[in-house]
Amino acid sequence: MESSNSSKLSEKLVQTMEKINETCNALISALEVNAQAVWEYGGGVAHKINSEYVDILIKNILKIKYHLFRMQKELNNGLITSQDELKYIVGGLLDTMDAIDTVCANDGYLRNQFSFATDELKDLITKMLDEINISIAA
């Protein structure tokens, strides 16, 4: 991989990791909102957040982080030398992104409140993968 492509990839990876951290922090903060807190603030009804779905969503977002670290390590160490090897590693990443879509589809609140963040995360990853394809083909 050429050094200019490597630095672009590293920059995109940093942006993606920042987005992962922001999204996880927002999801964790959402768990702190409950009916009692809303009532004390002056509201009456709060949507019940399904903490199980939030936990699953955070777990899958952190899996993406793991896949990205692994992919970067293998690219930097020259362990990925063909498109087939890249597809194998990217497969786990894409499966995890599909799992995020499934979790959001099963909970309307998460879909309405966090789909923008998860879509933005998927967009960052897609752009980064496009960059990797270019750098390996070169």
What is the full DSSP assignment across 45-92? --PPP-HHHHHHHHHHHHHHHHHHHHHHHHHHTT---SHHHHHHHHHH
Name the DSSP letter for residue 106: H
Q: Which of the four pLDDT bands, split at 50, 70 and 90, describes residue 80?
A: confident
Greater pLDDT, 127 or 131: 127
Poorest-confidence range of 7-16, 38-47, 87-96, 121-130? Answer: 38-47
Residue 134 predicted with pLDDT over 80: no
16 contacts 131 by C-beta, under 8 angstroms: no
Greater pLDDT, 135 or 58: 58
Mean pLDDT (whole number) for 23-43: 63
